[in-house]
Amino acid sequence: MAELPAHSSGNPHDELARITQENAQLHEALRSRTVLGQATGLLMAALRLSPDEAFAALTKMSSHENRKVRDVAAGVVARRTRPGLGR
């Protein structure tokens, strides 16, 4: 008989809950990565920054505002994609 992974309790309900939680975390990570890429690109274009400089700008804003980088990035994207904001 095959061994269960170390993180598995053997209970199908527990395993389903674990997989569901992991799936939600992966979806959130993908959304965060997407918005970070968009914000980085917007800063690169608007301020003529390198990718590293644009990401550094996001992390600096995050630190100064005491907010998560992904939240700062989402704000950058939201401000730049609203109608009438130079698009």
The chain-wide mean pLDDT, for the chain, equals 86
3-state secondary structure the chain: CCCCCCCCCCCHHHHHHHHHHHHHHHHHHHHHHHHHHHHHHHHHHHHCCCHHHHHHHHHHHHHHHCCCHHHHHHHHHHHHHCCCCCC
In a domain? residue 8: no
Number of other residues whose CB lies within 10 A of the CB of residue 70: 19
Task: Show the domain range for 46.
Answer: 15-81
* Number of domains into which the chain is organized: 1
Q: What is the pLDDT of residues 51-73, one digit of tens each?
A: 999 999 999 999 999 999 999 99
- The residue among 31 and 66 whose pLDDT is bigger is 66
Residue 24 belongs to a domain with what CATH number?
A: 1.10.10.10
In a domain? residue 86: no
Q: C-alpha distances in angstroms, 41 versus 7, 16, 81, 82?
A: 38, 37, 13, 16
The pair of structure tokens assigned to 15 is 């395993």
pLDDT at residue 87 tops 50: no
The whole model's pTM is what? Answer: 0.66
